[in-house]
Amino acid sequence: MADSGRSVPAIEQRPSLEGYEWLWQAFISLATCRQIGMTPGPIPWTAIQQYCAVHRLTDAEAYMLHNVIPYMDNVFLEQLEKSHGSVPHGKRNSNTQKKRSKR
């Protein structure tokens, strides 16, 4: 739509990420730490903690990273599931438990 000259409200009203690019860079770096088996696993908490230590993040930055990265990772894994039909590692256990409880 934007190419045709029409405005796209979602794009025009998107929040500014200025000053928070480091979170995206951290996510990209930490994504290399996930375990890969039949499906990709979530980014481990220990990897996030080690990233904080290596980059000497302040307590506030580390707190933000520990809250934002898992959220970003869940969104990433959900999108991966939708596009590839795979079941992310973290979701497999909860789905299995639901099926077992119905028996």
Range of the domain at 56: 20-102
Asked whether residue 14 is assigned to any structural domain, the reply reads no
**Is position 12 within any domain?**
no
CB 48 within 8 A of CB 33: no
Total domains in the chain come to 1
- What is the rounded CA–CA span in Å between residue 38 and residue 84? 12
The pTM score is 0.67
Q: 17-53, pLDDT tens digit by residue?
A: 788 899 999 999 999 999 888 888 999 999 999 999 9
For 29, residues 6+ apart whose C-beta sits below 8 A from its C-beta are: 51
Residue 87, pLDDT score:
55
Non-local CB neighbours of 102 within 8 Å, separated by 6+ positions: none
Domain assignment present for 40: yes
- Measured over the CA atoms of residue 18, residue 49, residue 30 and residue 39, the dihedral's sign is negative
Domain contains 56: yes
Residue 33: partners with Cβ closer than 8 Å, 6 or more residues away: 43, 44, 47
* 37 or 102: which leads in pLDDT: 37
Residues 6+ apart with CB under 8 A from 87: 39, 81, 95
- Taking only the tens place, the pLDDT of each residue in 56-84 is 999 999 999 999 999 999 999 999 888 87
Classify residue 15: in a domain, yes or no: no
Residue 1 predicted with pLDDT over 60: no
